[in-house]
């Protein structure tokens, strides 16, 4: 099984306002480890940097600094070639992530073939049927020939999950996987993810605005605010005993996951001056200062990316 370590991750975006150019630090020295069989939730409001973390892990964005290292059970690093098989994403919008012109079978058969998990037509057919059964899209022979528009949002997201499993995923990055689905079916999809995780011993990063599901479906929670992890620790500890003023705000407000725009922290004095420069770690029971990035030894080797 694969462990994924994120160390001192930094991502800057160039921004331009009028004639002035500057950089926006979307992710600021973020570190955490995803281990087999465990879920880490990354919570925070819109714009806190959660998706940027996901995109750099998925290699859709290049980090400005820090490193991301995937390591196999025997301690050897996962090579570039294998990385895309091991680390898979499930995106927020199941409609945008599926090609409307292709059947469900095509969406699943392609990764099975591409990653050498099915060699003949018969193996592919069986592989597709098994994947559909694992995500409760049955009968498989009825589902396989359909196109995405012939499925509900929840069913489409199940296809997206099956597609993530097809190449033999060991690490799954689920970026707001249910926030675009009807409230009534969200729990079903999250329960499915949890079951697949147990069956395949997956390491999962669950990105969400929603503290309640983060607590229920995760072992650990990282709270992000303006690109920083401001609080981290076991899920119950973070939710029941929040120490950072930003987490306290989040916990009290139970923000509407669909709300965009104004941040909870916008009101004056919402975050204490002291807390702007520090975060709280429940595993050590202590505060850490932001200008000293967390330094944890890495298990595996990996390319060092220059820090900005």
The widest CA-to-CA distance across the chain, in whole angstroms, is: 64
Query: Helix crossing, 153-165 with 121-134: angle to 10°?
Result: 130
Q: Give min distance, CB of 225 to ligand ATP, in A.
A: 10
How far apart, in Å, are the Cα atoms of 198 and each of 21, 38, 161, 170, 226? Answer: 47, 9, 14, 11, 32
Q: φ, ψ for residue 90 (rounded to 5)?
A: -120, 120
Peptide bond into 139 cis (omega under 30): yes
Q: Give min distance, CB of 9 to ligand ATP, in A.
A: 12
Task: Report the residue number, 102 or 262, with the smaller CB distance to ligand ATP.
Answer: 262
Q: Looking up tokens 């995780």, which residue turns up?
A: 197
Q: Give min distance, CB of 47 to ligand ATP, in A.
A: 4
d(CA 199, CA 196): 5
Q: Give min distance, CB of 13 to ligand ATP, in A.
A: 3
d(CA 207, CA 121): 36
Q: Give min distance, CB of 130 to ligand ATP, in A.
A: 33
Task: Report the residue number, 47 or 302, with the smaller CB distance to ligand ATP.
Answer: 47
Closest CA relative to residue 207, chosen from 93, 84, 49, 68: 49
Task: Report the residue number, 52 or 197, with the smaller CB distance to ligand ATP.
Answer: 52
Is the Cβ–Cβ distance between 175 and 126 less than 8 Å? no
Q: Applying CB under 6 A, which residues contact ligand ATP? A: 13, 15, 24, 26, 44, 46-52
Q: Which residues does residue 288 pair with via DSSP β-bridges, in sequence order?
A: 279
Task: Report the residue number, 109 or 229, with the smaller CB distance to ligand ATP.
Answer: 229
Closest CA relative to residue 186, chosen from 265, 92, 116, 264: 92
Q: Give min distance, CB of 62 to ligand ATP, in A.
A: 11
Query: How are beta strands 203-208 and 171-175 bridged, if at all?
Result: parallel
Task: Report the residue number, 137 or 265, with the smaller CB distance to ligand ATP.
Answer: 265
Q: Residue 12, class by beta-carbon neighbours within 10 Å (0-12 exposed, 13-18 middle, 19+ buried)?
A: middle
Q: Give min distance, CB of 44 to ligand ATP, in A.
A: 6
Task: Report the residue number, 258 or 291, with the smaller CB distance to ligand ATP.
Answer: 258
Task: Report the residue number, 129 or 180, with the smaller CB distance to ligand ATP.
Answer: 180
Q: Which residues does residue 77 pair with via DSSP β-bridges, in sequence order?
A: 71
């Amino acid at each position: 099984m694969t462990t994924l370590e994120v160390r001192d991750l930094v991502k800057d975006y160039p921004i331009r306002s009028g004639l002035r150019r500057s950089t926006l630090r979307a992710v600021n020295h973020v570190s955490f480890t995803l281990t087999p069989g465990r879920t880490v939730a990354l919570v925070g409001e819109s714009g806190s940097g959660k998706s940027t973390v996901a995109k750099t892990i998925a290699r859709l964005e290049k980090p400005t600094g820090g490193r991301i290292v995937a390591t196999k059970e025997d301690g050897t690093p996962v090579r570039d070639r294998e990385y895309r098989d091991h680390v898979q994403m499930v995106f927020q919008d199941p409609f945008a992530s599926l090609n409307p012109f292709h059947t469900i079978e095509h969406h699943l058969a392609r990764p099975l073939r591409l990653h050498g998990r099915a060699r003949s037509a018969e193996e592919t057919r069986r592989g597709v049927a098994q994947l559909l059964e694992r995500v409760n899209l049955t009968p498989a022979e009825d589902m396989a020939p359909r196109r995405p528009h012939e499925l509900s949002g929840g069913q489409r997201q199940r296809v997206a999950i099956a597609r993530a499993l097809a190449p033999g995923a060991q690490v799954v990055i689920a970026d707001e996987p249910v926030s675009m689905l009807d409230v009534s079916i969200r729990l079903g999809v999250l329960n499915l993810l949890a079951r697949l995780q147990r069956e395949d011993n997956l390491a999962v990063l669950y990105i969400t605005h929603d503290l309640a599901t983060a607590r229920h479906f995760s072992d650990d929670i990282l709270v992000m605010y303006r690109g920083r992890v401001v609080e981290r620790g076991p899920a119950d500890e973070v939710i029941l005993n929040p120490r950072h003023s930003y987490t306290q705000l989040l916990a009290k407000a139970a923000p509407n996951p669909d709300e965009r725009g104004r941040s909870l922290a916008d009101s004056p004095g919402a975050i204490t001056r002291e807390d702007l420069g520090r975060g709280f770690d429940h595993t050590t029971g202590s505060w850490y200062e932001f200008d000293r990035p967390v330094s944890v030894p890495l298990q595996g080797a990996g390319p060092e990316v220059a820090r900005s």
